[in-house]
Amino acid sequence: MIKPFSIDIPQSALDDLAARLDNTRLPAALPGDDWDTGVPVSWLAGLVDHWRTGYDWRKAEAELNAYPQFTTEIDGQLIHFLHVTSPEPGALPLVLTHGWPGSIVEFLDLIGPLTDPVAHGGQAADAFHLVIPSLPGFGFSGPISDTGWTRERIGRTWAVLMERLGYDRYGVQGGDIGGAVSPEVARAARDHVVGVHTNGGPSLPPYPLSDEELKSLTPLEQDRIGRIGQFLRDEMGYISIQSTRPQTLAYGLVDSPVGQLAWIMDKFRAWTHPTDVLPEAIISKDRLLTNAMIYWLTGTAGSAAYVGYAQQGPWGETKENSGVPTAVLAFAHDVTIRRYAEQDNTITRWTDVDHGGHFAALEEPDLLISDVREFFRSLR
């Protein structure tokens, strides 16, 4: 059964948030107060002040509620999703899947151009019906009621969702966790998925590589392997915590809005491009806060961490190739490499871009929209 859903946060929850923000206790700044030791106190204090005095949740809530939303139960889990149909009769259904620490908020700037391209300077033939689910355990699809929410299980769940909506032919798109889930939808429903589009790649390269294999790579590919190594050395801490102690972490994040904000903003600074630019120069403060609010208001920091990183399978694992045409839009921050992605995906389009970061829909919406349109034109 599919039920209509509308976001309606009680005023008491917003009053509680305001009181917590008013009584925030910030830590003493570490020497230098820079991003090398985490989110700087001086920078976060400014964002918290905007959260207290300048940010309007009700405006954001109305923006989200402008789109039809629904919930349904699949495999024992409540699934929340946006379902925005196009005015064009020949529109192709498309599933958009977010990642961590993102949410459905990532896709707000894509909805209009993808569903109603004519109104945004495009062609009617490029129209999509959009299905935008919240990942199990994330936001209004949380919390989770059982274990085992791997990307494969989520892929099967999305296939059931699309069948339940009456869609027989559709495409899938995503980045981060969504980039890993999207190929799994194709593996689960290869007779129904016409194409897979990912930003950042459908799979990660193996690591480490032998010296001989490393020498066979192009300079761009060598740079990506080098950045994988740097990530494993300098940034693995959050994965280690979230994949082993998500419950312990959740106490701090669910109880402290500033703790939740800092945990998320650490990654928005590290994963937007270029990294030496502050996140709000790339993505607006209000959009950053609305994304954080989805986690705060639903109290899903723990379940999102649990689903996002308690995944089985080694780094660079090779999987069955679904045979479904697959496109990759690789931005400057991304580390995917075509020769390895082709081992378990049928790559028919690959585009390397020398700018842009991990949050493609938020950072480079126009480029992402254009690439999605071009890829699916021959697959409709």
- Residues with catalytic function: 176, 306, 358
CB atoms within 10 A of CB 279: 26
CB atoms within 10 A of CB 208: 13
CB atoms within 10 A of CB 204: 19
Q: Residue 286: enclosing H or E segment and its boundaries?
A: helix 285-298
Packing angle, helices 257-271 and 246-255, rounded to 10? 110
Whether 128 and 116 have beta carbons less than 8 Å apart is answered as no
- Between the alpha carbon of residue 156 and those of residues 99, 145, 149, the distances in Å are 17, 17, 10
* C-alpha gyration radius of the chain: 20
The rounded distance, in Å, linking the Cα atoms of 155 and 166 is 17
Strand pairing report for 77-84 and 128-133: antiparallel
